[in-house]
Structure 1
C-alpha cells in the first residue's frame, strides 16, 4: 500500500434522528472525494443492518453498536483514511469511549430542535413513536445526552448544508487534519 502522507481522523456526528447527520456526512464525503481524500461513512442505519444486525435499543445494545462503529472508525483512522460516523450515539460515556479508542476524533454535535426533527421525519419514525409503535426513542422517551465539549456544534435549522460543511472543513484545517486547500471548493469539470 502506498502511503498518502495523510493523517487519518474520525468525524463523529451525533444528534437526534432527523437532525441532519446523514445529509452532512454525504456532503462532507463529496467534498473530501473532490480533493482525492479516502473517506468512509458509517451511517447508523446501515451499520445496524450489516455490522450490528440483531441489536436492540437497550442502553447496552446501543453502547455495543457504538463500540462496533468506533472499532471500524479506529481501523480506518489508523490507516490514514477519514472516517465519518453518523449515528445518534445518545450517551456521553459511549462517545467518550469512542474518542479514547480512536484518538484523532472530532465530535460534531448536529443540533436541531426536536420539533424540527419531527417535521423532517423522512423515515416516519416520530409518527410511529406518537402511535405507540416505537418505544424508548431517543429524545422522546429515552434520553439524549448533549455533548458537553464538542469540537463543533452545527445547528442545521439555522444554516445551510454548504455553510455547515464549510464550518466543519475550517475546523478540520484549524485542528491540522486537513490542509487549507480544502477550504476552496474544487471547480467542477
Structure 2
C-alpha cells in the first residue's frame, strides 16, 4: 500500500496568526518526520512569479494552485503544513474530497484585533478606501464550516498550547 502524507491546512484572515501557528506545527513535525514541508500562501505567490492579482477570480485560481501543489506533495509521501487564507468553500471541499489525510484548522480572530495588528497595512488602506480587495473588509470571507479544529487567536498567547491542539488532532501526541 502506498503511503501518503498528511495535509494540515491552517486557514484564517490576514493577520490571524496562521503563519506563526503553521510554522510552529511544521517545526515540531519536522523533528519527527524529515518528509515535512511548510507552504505559506504569500510565499507560494512569490515562487510562482506573482502573476495573479487579488480579485476573487485570481484568489480562487491561486487557491486551486495551492491545492494542486499540496496534493502532489502528499502523493510523494510528504507531509504538508499549509498556511493560506483559503477563502473559498469550494477549495475546502476539494481538499476534503481528494486528500485522505486532510486536517482543516481555522484560526479565528476578531476583525477589531486584525485591524489593530494590520501587519501588511491592508486593513487601514481598505478602511480609508485605498484598497477594494481586502478580505474581511471589502471582500466576503467564506468562513470554514466543517473544519476539524477552530483556534481562537484574538490574543497572541499560548502558542505551544495551540500547536499541541493541532498535533493532538492529527494523531501526533
Task: Confirm or deny a common fold (TM above 0.5).
Answer: yes
- Does the CA contact (< 8 Å) of 1:7 and 1:80 recur in 2? yes
1:169 to 154, 163, 167: 167
Unpaired runs of 5+ residues, structure 2, are: none
Larger Rg belongs to: 1
1:140 to 134, 137, 141: 137
Secondary structure of 1:12's aligned partner: strand
Correspondence list, 1:1-189, <5 A: 7-51=4-48, 53-157=50-154, 160-173=158-171, 178=172, 183=173
- Does the CA contact (< 8 Å) of 2:106 and 2:147 recur in 1? yes
- Quote the Cα distance in structure 1 between the aligned partners of 2:53 and 2:127: 20
Bigger drift between 40-49 and 156-165 goes to: 156-165
User: What displacement does 1:7 show?
Assistant: 4.1
Bigger drift between 21-30 and 158-167 goes to: 158-167
What TM-score comes out, normalization by structure 1 length? Answer: 0.83
Unpaired runs of 5+ residues, structure 1, are: 184-189
RMSD (Å), alpha carbons: 1.8
User: What displacement does 1:109 show?
Assistant: 0.7
User: What displacement does 1:6 show?
Assistant: 6.1
Q: Which runs of 4+ in 1 moved over 4 A?
A: none
